[in-house]
Structure 1
Amino acid sequence: MIQSLQGIGMTSARTRERMINRLIQQGICSHKILDVMRNTPRHIFMDEALAHRAYEDTALPIGYNQTISQPYIVAKMTELLLAASARLTCVLEIGTGCGYQTAILAQLADHVYSVERIAPLQKKAKDRLWDLKLKNVSYLHSDGGWGWPDHAPYDGILVAAAPPEIPEMLLQQMAIGGVMLIPIGKDDKQQLQRVTRTESGYDIEKLEPVVFVPFLSGRK
């Protein structure tokens, strides 16, 4: 496992550093986020056959018609989420997926509550985070549209799939001053949005075009 975590060849520290330099060129400014991504072995979150492509700036399949987001999107959404505070206390993640984004959030927040509708994916993610000794994460196998009301309100919510509109249940679980990053739209007409809850309602900013898997209901 130690060798696997460290990486060799196309998963080595040198390859990882090229990813970090590319993120800087793409406008990621947070040294805290860059350090976390530099030290998190992205290649262990995908099948061995694709591990050599782990540090490319592209989304890659992880099974069950799901993908691991490209490093830029992971960094950008995390940076936008953290922009409102030095450290997040309570974060809700919708879409555990392979667990890579979860691992990044877990190193920057006090606790992460991660919801996933596909049980086998979440089980693999949980095992990987355990290998990384990241134990400040709680997992729920559930429909992401319901959120996780037991631990609300959240000062940060990150959604890794695109619904046609913002789920009302997620809005209700935001803390006052809390921020949600969520892609909205269908197919190739999605837009990343930042929602901030205020005393009087919600401020919504449309940020940039993105491509995510669709936000589906139910559990598998």
Structure 2
Amino acid sequence: MTTIAVLGNGRVGGNLATALTRAGHQVTAVDRSPGEAAAAARAAEIVINATPGAGSLERLGALREELHDKILVDVSNATTDGPDGLPAGLLHPGSSLAEQLQEALPGTRVVKTLNTMLFPVMTAPATLAQAPTAFLSGDDPQAKQTVRDLLTDLGWRTEWITDLGGIRTARATEAAVLFVPHVIRAEGFTPFAISIAR
């Protein structure tokens, strides 16, 4: 059992918190209030960033002390929104939210994952007709192994998880969010994920 704090209790955070609790972990899900987030992060071994990506850097940067020596799992994408509320552009072109978080939190081990799919797939990958892919980006191999184990608890098979390498590789998976609005407009909000076919 691992002690996990999920920052953000909307659809993404709530979904992850429920599934990880069901898998036997001790999970606390908190909203964006700084006091609750700080207390939860301080008590956790692993912290999951499920806050809206546009404000994640500021929110988590304020938790530098609480996040020191923790694993931070970043599942958010930092985007600008179009008139319909769907992603229209990247807030960190030429970089990524995960890279910015790692730079702002040098004592924290940041791992990017689960950001290339609609949120229901994060905790139910086997429900798709084709095998999805969960990508890992991060500079610390041990932290990535820990996150890989969490993904397994969420139903991800080993062969569905691809380690892309260091944190800089997160800019590729974060850019994949630009597919999302076009797929949604074409097909609706039916769950889908980016997949590597082999």
Task: Check whether TM > 0.5.
Answer: no
Higher strand share: 1
Indicate the TM-score class for this superposition, using the shorter chain for normalisation. Answer: 0.3 to 0.5
Higher helix share: 2
Question: TM-score, normalization: structure 1?
Answer: 0.34
